[in-house]
Amino acid sequence: MKTKQILLLLFSVFSINIFAQSPVGKWKVESYWSNEYKFDSHKALLSSRPCAADIFYEISEDGKYRLNASKSSCDESYKKIQEKIWSKTKWRLNEKTIQLSSTDFAVTKDYVITFSGNKMIWKNQWDTITYSRIN
C-alpha cells in the first residue's frame, strides 16, 4: 500500500512540474535582447509604438504560436500585418529547446527555454527573449 501511495505522490509531483513548465498559454514579451548588439528591440518598439504593450502571444497545445493584437490600440493595418506575419508559425519542444517555424520545421529558429515563476526565457547565441505569463 505504501508503495502505491509513494508512486502516486511521485506521479503527482512530476505531473505538476511538467504542467508548470509548459509554454502553453498567453505571454507578453518583456524584453527582446540582442546578445550581439547589446540592444533591447522590444524597448525600442514600445518607444515608437506604445500601443504594442498590449500585444501578446498565444502558444497553444496544437502547436500554434500566434501574435494577438486584438486588445492593442495600434491602428488596424499594423495589427493585421503583425498577425499575418505570425499566422503560420508553429512551435515544438525538443527536450529543453523550443523550436519555431513557419515552414513546417524545414527551417527553425531554436532557443533554450527556461522558466522562473511566471517568466519564460528563450535564449540562443543571438537573442534572449523574456516573456511574462498573462491570464
What would the pLDDT profile of 74-97 be if each residue is shown by its tens digit?
A: 999 999 999 999 999 999 999 999
Is 124 contained in some domain? yes
Amino acid at 55: I
The pLDDT score that the predictor gives to residue 21 is 86
Is 15 contained in some domain? no
Is 13 contained in some domain? no
Is 130 contained in some domain? yes
CB distance 7 to 115 below 8 Å: no
- Which residues constitute the domain of residue 50? 23-134
Is 14 contained in some domain? no
Is 9 contained in some domain? no
pTM of the prediction? 0.83
Nearest of 103, 101, 124, 100 to residue 112 by alpha carbon: 124
The pLDDT score that the predictor gives to residue 2 is 63
Can you tell me the distance from the alpha carbon of 102 to that of 86, in angstroms, rounded to the nearest whole number? 8
In the chain, the number of structural domains is 1
Q: What is the CATH number of the domain that holds 124?
A: 2.40.128
Is 80 contained in some domain? yes
CB distance 125 to 112 below 8 Å: no
C-alpha cell of residue 77: 493595418
Is 87 contained in some domain? yes
CB distance 101 to 108 below 8 Å: yes
Can you tell me the distance from the alpha carbon of 133 to that of 135, in angstroms, rounded to the nearest whole number? 7
Amino acid at 108: T
